[in-house]
Structure 1
Amino acid sequence: MRTDQRAWRDDEAGYDRVARVFHWLVAALIAAQFVIGWTMPDIHKDTRPEGLIAWHLGVGATLIAVVVLRIVWRLAHPPGPANVSPLLRAVSQVTHGLLYLALLVVPLLGWANASSRGWSVRLLGLLPVPAIAPTGSSVGHAMGDIHGYLAWVLFALIALHIAAALFHRFVLKDRVLQRMLP
């Protein structure tokens, strides 16, 4: 490994500090999104993007940006392989792939729905991002329903991810979970 990368790695087989920061930042943003999503008012035809709905849009846009940065970082700085069986490695790769896909698709569908309603979406709640669906688009409106259903799929994938981490820690008693802990 090159010397300039050593500062970023604590453990050859683990995730580097930047990857861990991205992981836990995404986890915090997702937790916030689910709390906001469950507590915000239902969205109807005349709903305005205020209060919790505006927060949901801003956190969602931030989530997309952080997930994209996380994916770019991971592609440029892949972690060392975990010491697990080929079957567990394959299951992990599929699960992580589905998690990354859902972490992109779910907020993109919400963004399309917001765009179709003519709502402004702002990165970090401040910087406006362009609409990705025309105002009044029936497809964009339908994306809101799909967004809601796929959020539950994302929730299930996250629960599976957490269960797998705990399985590694308490059943297999290996160091897979420690690879992502600070």
Structure 2
Amino acid sequence: MANLQESTRPGYDAVARALHWLTVLLIAMQFMIGWTMPDVQKDTQPIGLIAWHLGVGATLIVVILLRVIWRLTHRPTPDDLPPFFSIASRVTHLLLYATLVLVPLLGWINASSRGWTVRLLGLVPYPALSAPGSAFGHKMGDLHGILAWVLFALIGLHVAAALFHRLVLRDHVLQRMLPHAGPSRQSARNR
């Protein structure tokens, strides 16, 4: 196996890295809030942790939208992975992006069906995506919960793959998403 070396391939740009790590922070917040907030019942009001879940979700929608736009307009330099790893990476990233879009969107639809207004930063109201009392909106709430677990599993797979690249393959894949910290110790010793 090759030793870790300074990559000659560029990593993701600063905007992509910032959006990635902001997404990580917001998703971590959503999972912590989601696990600790009370169950949503028919007469539940959007206060306390539920209000926080809605607010973080509203922010996440904007961040994911920006992230998708940035990804479509700023493709990273392809990595030189073997075909199996390259395909697995593309499929995993596609599934991650799909669930990152769907989970908050379904939550928004469900909130609308409950008559709750989703607001960005507590100020800017989002339009309702379903009518109050909508059976469709309530079903989307159930799907929101299921897909949140799918997202959690995909994140686990993504983290495991990053650690596999770092600890087993000892390549530079993980470093592509980390801030650039200058030459590695290995390359400094080789000078």
SS of 2:147's equivalent in the other structure is helix
Aligned partner (choices 149, 153, 157) of residue 150 of structure 2 = 153
How many angstroms does 1:126 deviate by?
Answer: 2.1
Kept in 2: contact 1:12–1:80 (CA 8 A)? yes
Whether 2:131 is the aligned partner of 1:120: answer no
1:162 and 1:53 mapped to 2: Cα distance?
A: 28
> Aligned partners of 2:108, 2:157: CA distance in 1, in Å?
26
| 1:64 Cα deviation after fit | 1.1
Runs (5+) with no aligned partner, structure 1: 1-9
- Structure 2: which amino acid aligns with 1:116? S
Task: Confirm or deny that 1:52 pairs with 2:52.
Answer: no
Q: Do the aligned partners of 1:13 and 1:82 also contact (CA within 8 Å) in 2?
A: no
TM-score w.r.t. structure 2 length? 0.88
CA distance in 1, matches of 2:122, 2:147: 23
Q: 2: CA distance between counterparts of 1:172 and 1:32? A: 31
- Alpha-carbon offset, residue 12 of structure 1: 4.5
SS in 1 for 2:119: strand
Matches within 5 A, 1:4-153: 12-153=9-150
Shift of residue 26 of structure 1? 0.3
The equivalent residue for 2:173 is 176
Distance 1:75 1:129 in 2: 24
User: Highest CA radius of gyration, 1 or 2?
Assistant: 2
Deviation at 1:83, TM superposition (A): 2.1
2:56 partner letter:
V
Alpha-carbon distance between aligned partners in 2 of 1:11 and 1:180, rounded to the nearest angstrom:
14
Q: Cα 1:114–1:11, aligned 2, differ >3 Å: closer, same or farther? A: farther
Decide whether aligned partners of structure 1 residues 11 and 35 sit closer, same or farther in structure 2, where only a CA change above 3 A counts.
Answer: farther
Supply the RMSD in Å over aligned alpha carbons.
1.2
Deviation at 1:11, TM superposition (A): 6.8
Check conservation: 1:112, 1:133, Cα contact below 8 A.
Answer: yes
Q: Distance in 2 between matches of 1:57 and 1:126?
A: 12
**1 CA distance for matches of 2:8 and 2:60?**
27
Mark the runs of 5 or more structure 2 residues left unpaired by the alignment. Answer: 1-6, 180-191
What is the rounded CA distance, in whole Å, between the counterparts of 2:10 and 2:130 in structure 1?
Answer: 42
